Amino acid sequence: MFNAAEMSEIPLTSSVSKGCFVFKSASKKRKRHVGVGDDENGSDRFRICQKLWETVQTNTEVIQDQLNKKVLDSLAEFIKKHGLGCSSDNWRQRARETPTAALMLGVNVPDHAMTFRSLCNLLQDSVTPFVVSVHAKECAAVKLLIQKVLEQLMGRGVSVDEEQEDDTALLQRTQCTISALCQWYKTVTKSLPVVVIFKDFEAFNSQVLQDFILICSRYTQELPFIFIFGIATSPSAIQHRLPHSVSSLLCIEVFHSLSCTQHLASVFDKLILNSQFPFKLSSRVIQVLVGIFLYHDFSVQNFVKGLQFSMLEHFKSQPLSMLCCQKQEALLSAKTLSKKNVERIRHLPSFMRYVETQEPQEQVQLLTNDEHVKEVCQQLLKNLHKYHKNYYPILQCLHSLTSSLPKFPLGKHIRELHVSCIEKNLWETEEYDSALQLLRILAKDELVAALRKCAEILKSTKILQNVLQQLEDFIGRLEALEGVSSEDSSGNGIISGKMEYQRTDLFQLQKTLLEKESRRTKRMNPFEVLRSQVIEFIDSLVREYLTPAELQPLNEVCYYNSSGVLRQRLNVTPRTSIQAALSHPFYYLQNESLKTDAGTISSAAPDLCIVYKLHLECGRLINLYDWLEAFLTVMSAAEDQDTNSEECGKYDSLKHARFIQAVSEMEFLGFIKSTKQKTDHVARLTWGGC
Amino acid sequence: MSHQKSFQYADLLSVLERVVDIMSAPDQYSYPSVFIYGHRATGKSHVVLSIMKDLELPHASVDCVECVSSGLLFHQVLSAFFGPDAAALLPRCPSLSDFVRLYKQMSSNSPATQTRYIILDRAERMRDMDFSLLPALLRLQELVNDNVTVILLSEIVWEKFRPNTGCFEPLLFHFPDYSKGKSLVQILSWDHHPSYTPELYASYINILLGVFFSVCRDLRELRHLAVLNFSKFCEPLEKGEAKESDIHKLWKNIEPHLQRAMQTVYLREVSSVQWEQQQMDEKEATTLRVLSAHAHIELPYYSKFLLIAAYLASFNPARTDRRFFLKSHGKIRKTNFLKKHEKTSNHLLGPKPFPLDRLMAIFYSVVDSRVAPTASIFSQISSLVTLQLLSQVGHDDQLDSPKYKCSVSLDFILAISRCVCVCVRLLDLLALSLVIQSQVVRQERSLFTAVSNLHLL
């Protein structure tokens, strides 16, 4: 079933989140566009794409900084406290405890690099210049670890002192010991702590760590060390790595960074649920990217890279993406559309749908008059921007309303709601119905609180003022109801409370409550009348503003929707591609002569492909001689037509060599291996081999 | 070694006398090598170094942990005896003969008027260095023809040092453990608080030892704990709730506190600073989260399944796979299904290595949906290895059939499978495989740490 071929494919990476990525560099992409012939548009698109990418980059950095600020600040505080207070705490010196911060970062190891960079900068700016960060790969032995620490510390100090020749020579010639470091520290002394950051604590050899900690603890009086452990799993990893005799030398405090899912949510809010950002992803593409994140790597950086990749793909494959920019710019370029692009617009499915809805007169105009198309196009673009502007606030409102419902009928995260909104008509789904049902039985205070939240969201966006007006109106009316409905709503609440105590099954509860609701419809009190009005109002908002993006004319300009390509590129299956390359060489080489029917073996194919196809017909053990014979037969099949059989024998040694080379390549790829079971045989490793 | 139990403070004094005896005639040649052993914090290095200091003897003190190469050791010895200039004469990677040559050269310039001492702390590390180093150092006096004595300090008995080829037998000294009754109380009482009477402090120490003596005899650690908890002990006195003579009341107040300290701060689950802070604002009832409380690890969805699969592969016998993971596994007779030796708990035997293809086969049968064998699935395996949740058996560069072991506990796997288990089938699988592993041994951590000192031996 599984075999060496697969095993050899395991990339030697150090983290969950390092997958295999094929990124086309921007410059390469540009060249290709020159080939297409639309050069001025290509460069335009390239420019837009680059600009967008820059905003993405700055935004993600800002988000990262914001999210990490709290934990980094508390770390800096910790180091400051220990750096100053150590000398006064006499007894702790006796116990030789080194202050240690255990920084929990989550399993997405590549994302840590950025955090550590900002941590280093922060510490160097505000606390101490003596910051060393070490990586497990460079420190296989204590000697190397000490050397690394000394290099980073003394190298920096030396360049300040301008005594380069003397000191560096000394360092190289004499020992790499902490006592040497001690001597150096006395010369530069500013009584600032020396911070050593272990970037990947889990990967360190525990013996190395133990020795290093033991050595450092001997010098705590002279050299105030502070350690920071970057831990990917859990704090108990420290106790698993270090025995008590060593961990008793540490004074460990734990710091938690934000979880990666929260990080993703904020990136999602900033980059995808934002009308200012013109480039959009279709529901399928979002699902692929989020799927990779949740199922495979937990890496926000890879998510952003996926976004970058889809941007590049979009701007490369869609010539009309030149309109995918800020509103003013887009309108300007819509005015100056080239003839070719106008034609392209006419072929857009969404535009065609739009044309069909128009009057016959207008239809003719749209299909013949370029200028008219340009004007309509501008109008449509305006509409598209307006759609986006309205879409996001309403989406947030709906999310805030439904995210507190039991069982989360419309999803826990806003991204799930977003995906179902742009995919299909939300109001036709069952989940939406059940969410509305649940909203209809909300108690008054809950409803008012939820509506308040919505009003705040709308206030902050400063659009949809009329909706906000209506909402506030509803809130006012609900509050005015105070005396009338208080006992009823509270009664409602008590009932639901009781039910929850009796049986925990929410479904049952929901059902019974719904039944009650239906029974009660006959005699509704003013609160219930108002409540159903509110719900209807929300429903109307959803129907008006949360229409699927695919129905918007010209949506292809902004939306990237080829999820298949994305999946193929980002979630690679190396083994499948090797097999595709070997069994259908045409697929990659694009050489006409390689086109063959399935099942036949063409002699024009590369030797490796021929050998591969022949080996598929064999069993567990392959007789090398038979294989060679078959190979020769295939080779000579083509030649037989124009040469006679005598010459065939002449080239035998050449063919023999080619065969041997092909076989060793097969071995290299992990399809076969040599065996001692039988002489002149090799073992097949695929499909139940060996 | 039964005499150790009846050890009294006087024994230590007799050892000291004998040690001092050796050093009492500095102008005569001394015994070439001395080996001193005893548990952690029994005062080996402290005694030797203070004798050196008090008698003003020329000595070089080297901690063997620091000596990542023997060159560093030579360097430190030479610079202690003859100054840094002499040490600088050592070649780049000095050999033992370089050291001996240089030592001879230097000592002929400045011959020893007194015995020189080389003190090697944590000498057990010497066993990992060059095999000829230890025998040579033991008879260094002969080699360099100088009045020099090598003192080895170790936590391990001499028998574990003796090389196969035999060597010079050093003089052996044993520093016995402090007994609970007298010596520990005496020593710990030395650093009593100036504002309280020594008697009060001694009674505090007695209470402290009553709690901690069963798990910890390390003097350094006990002192640390004594200082940490003393303020809590004195709290009733300061508030005026009790008098100094009210030992029972004080004991009642401190005892649960010390018990808690044993669970947390002694094991470094809580840092000493946090412990102090907690003592200060106890009224707010802040419950500190201990280190091992956050054992939960967020993992990507498929990594969780890979880990579960690895666990199943590691703890189930391979021949039961057919039965557990195949839907139509055919009929298996219930009797004799498990061989006799398999009936012992697999948790007692520890994880067994399994090849990658078995892991993948179990993974595919455990995971619900169809998963393509993408590069990221395989990279997740290697990253689980770097996170040390799996461990690779054999060489890293083995491409042919890498083998792994699962190195996480049952509790961890149960927690993970509780998060992903949407399907009942997986739970069944886990339950089924657990039937075999009927007994689960849970280790007490504090018991463990007490024992962990022994693993050195």
- Taking the CA of residue A66 and the nearest CA in chain B, the distance in Å comes to 22
Question: What pLDDT, on the 0 to 100 scale, is given for residue B119?
Answer: 93
Phi, psi of B174 (to 5 degrees): -120, 125
Residue B290 confidence (pLDDT) = 61
For A158-220, the DSSP string reads HHHHT-HHHHHHHHHHS---HHHHHHHHHHH----PEEEEES-GGGS-HHHHHHHHHHHHHTT
| Nearest-CA distance B340 → chain A (Å) | 30
Residues 532-591 of A with CB under 8 A from B: 571-576
Length of chain B: 457
pLDDT (mean) for B245-250: 80
DSSP H helices in A521-623: 526-545, 555-558, 563-570, 574-583, 585-589, 607-616
DSSP string for A358-378: S-HHHHHHHHH-HHHHHHHHH
pLDDT band, residue A31 (cuts 50/70/90): very low
pLDDT for residue A452 is more than 60: yes
- Give the distance from residue B270's alpha carbon to the nearest chain A alpha carbon, in angstroms: 7
Instruction: Please answer yes or no on whether A235 and B292 come within 8 Å at the CB atom.
Output: yes
Q: What rounded mean pLDDT belongs to chain B?
A: 77
Query: How far, in Å, CA of A684 to CA of B10, rounded?
Result: 76
pLDDT value at A662 more than 90: yes
Given CB atoms, is A260 within the 8 Å cutoff of chain B?
A: yes
Asked if pLDDT for residue A166 goes beyond 70, the answer is no
Quick one: which of A646, A653, A652, A686 has its CA closest to A670? A686
Average pLDDT over residues A468-489: 73
Whether residue A12 has pLDDT greater than 50: no
Task: Give the separation between CA B34 and CA B251, rounded to whole angstroms.
Answer: 45
Give percent above pLDDT 70 in chain A: 81
Q: Are A608 and A662 in contact (CB under 8 A)?
A: yes
Task: List CB contacts (< 8 A) between B78 and chain A.
Answer: none
Distance from CA of A469 to the nearest CA of B (A): 44
Please report, for residues A183, A331, A381, B326, the alpha-carbon distance to residue A328 in angstroms, rounded to integers and kept in the order given: 65, 5, 10, 62
Spatial separation of the C-alpha atoms in residues A558 and A274, rounded to whole Å: 13
Q: For an interface test with A, give the residue of B66, B365, B407 to mutate (most A CBs within 10 A).
A: B66
Taking the Cβ of residue A12 and every Cβ of chain B, the question of whether any pair is shorter than 8 Å is answered with yes
**Residue among A139, A180, A193 at smallest CA distance from B66:** A180
Q: Please answer whether residues A287 and A423 qualify as being in contact, where contact means their C-beta atoms are separated by less than 8 angstroms.
A: no
**Do the Cβ atoms of A4 and B399 come within 8 Å?**
yes
CB contact under 8 A, A236 and B295: yes
CA dist A5 and B360 (Å) reads 13
User: Which of A620-624, B278-282, B289-293 is predicted with the least confidence, judged by mean pLDDT?
Assistant: B289-293
Pairwise CB contact (< 8 Å): B452 & A174: no
Task: Find the closest chain A residue to B299 by CA distance.
Answer: A107
pLDDT of B28: 82
Q: Is the pLDDT of residue A26 over 70?
A: no
| pLDDT over 90 at B326, yes or no | no
- Tell me the CA distances in angstroms from A155 to A139, A147, A160, A181, one per residue in order: 18, 11, 9, 11
- Check: CB of residue B258 under 8 Å from CB of residue A195: no
Helix (H/G/I), strand (E/B), else coil: A132: strand
Residues of chain A with pLDDT > 90, as a percent, come to 19
Using a CB-CB distance cutoff of 8 angstroms, which residues of chain B are in contact with residue A175? 71-72, 75
Cα–Cα distance, B431 to A98 (Å, whole number): 44
Which range of A313-317, A575-579, A588-592, A646-650 scores highest in mean pLDDT? It is: A313-317
Cβ–Cβ under 8 Å, residues B23 and B57: yes
Q: Please return the burial class of B257, using the count of CB atoms within 10 Å of its CB with bins 0-12, 13-18 and 19+.
A: middle
Min Cα–Cα distance to chain A from B2, Å: 26
How confident is the model over A606-633, as a mean pLDDT?
Answer: 89
Name the closest residue on chain B to residue A246, using Cα atoms: B268
Mean pLDDT of A40-62: 87
CB–CB of A202 and B296 under 8 A?
no
Q: Hey, what's the torsion of the CAs at A669, A674, A677, A678, to 10 degrees?
A: 110
The tokens of A493 are what?
């609440």
Q: Specify the pairing of strand B354-355 against strand B403-406.
A: antiparallel
Is B381 a residue whose pLDDT tops 50?
yes
The secondary structure of A616-667 as a DSSP string is HTS-SEEEHHHHHHHHHHHHHHHHTTTS-HHHHHHTHHHHHHHHHHHHHHHH
Chain B residues close to A18, C-beta within 8 Å: 379, 383
Which pLDDT score, from 0 to 100, does residue B250 have?
81
Residues in chain A closer than 8 A to B395 (CB atoms): none
- Give me the mean pLDDT over the B202-230 stretch: 83
pLDDT of residue A308: 92
Segments in B83-120 forming alpha helices (H): 84-88, 96-109
d(CA B283, CA B105) in angstroms, rounded, equals: 69
CA distance A260 to A298: 7
B384-B385-B390-B391 Cα dihedral, nearest 10 degrees? 180
Confidence band for A659, pLDDT divided at 50, 70 and 90: very high
Proportion of chain B above pLDDT 90, given as a percent? 9
Quick one: pLDDT band at residue A669, thresholds 50, 70, 90?
confident
Average pLDDT score over residue span B240-245: 77
Cα gap B15→B38, rounded to integer Å: 12
pLDDT of residue A29: 39
Q: Give the pLDDT score at A290.
A: 93
C-alpha triplet A386, A387, A390: angle, nearest 5°: 85
pLDDT tens, residue by residue, A217-247: 888 888 888 999 999 988 888 888 888 888 8
Helix (H, G, I), strand (E, B) or coil at B172: strand
Q: Other C-beta atoms within 10 Å of B367: how many?
A: 20
Tell which wins on pLDDT, B103 or A595.
Answer: B103
Using pLDDT thresholds of 50, 70 and 90, give the confidence band for residue B20. confident
Determine which helix (DSSP H) or strand (DSSP E) holds A89, and give its type and residue range. none
* pLDDT score of A489 more than 90: no
The amino acid occupying position B392 is Q
Q: Is the Cβ of A298 closer than 8 Å to some Cβ of chain B?
A: yes
Collapse the DSSP code of A683 into the 3-class scheme (helix H, G, I; strand E, B; otherwise coil) and give the result.
strand
Residues A135-146, mean pLDDT to the nearest whole number: 89
Position A286 scores a pLDDT of: 93
Average pLDDT of the residues in B42-63: 87
Task: Look at B343 and B51; give whichever has higher pLDDT.
Answer: B51
Which pLDDT value is given to residue A575?
Answer: 81
Nearest to A253 among B66, B274, B381 (CB): B274
Nearest-Cα distance to chain A for B175, in Å, is 19
**How confident is the model over A529-542, as a mean pLDDT?**
89
Of A4, A95, A260, the CB nearest to B224: A95
Q: What is the pLDDT of residue B272?
A: 74
Which of A107, A239, A571 has the CB atom closest to B299's CB atom? Answer: A107
Indicate yes or no: CB of A109 within 8 angstroms of CB of B382.
no
Subunit contact A95:B72, Cβ cutoff 8 A: no
Which residues on chain B are in Cβ contact (under 8 Å) with A8?
399
Of the two residues B323 and A108, the one the predictor is more confident about is A108
Residue A493's pLDDT band, with cuts at 50, 70 and 90, is very low
Region A286-307 average pLDDT: 91
A223 in reach of chain B (CB within 8 A): no
CB A235 to CB B291 under 8 A? yes
Establish, for the pair of chains A and B, how many residue pairs have beta carbons separated by less than 8 Å: 202
According to DSSP, the residues that pair with B277 across neighbouring strands are none
Residues 69-108 of A with CB under 8 A from B: 91-92, 94-95, 97, 99-100, 102, 104, 106-107
Give mean pLDDT, residues B200-214.
Answer: 85
List pLDDT tens digits, range A409-436: 888 889 989 999 888 888 888 889 999 8
Q: Is residue A230 within 8 Å of residue B414, measured between CB atoms?
A: no
Q: Provide the pLDDT confidence category of residue B154 given band limits of 50, 70 and 90.
A: very high
Mean pLDDT value across chain A: 80
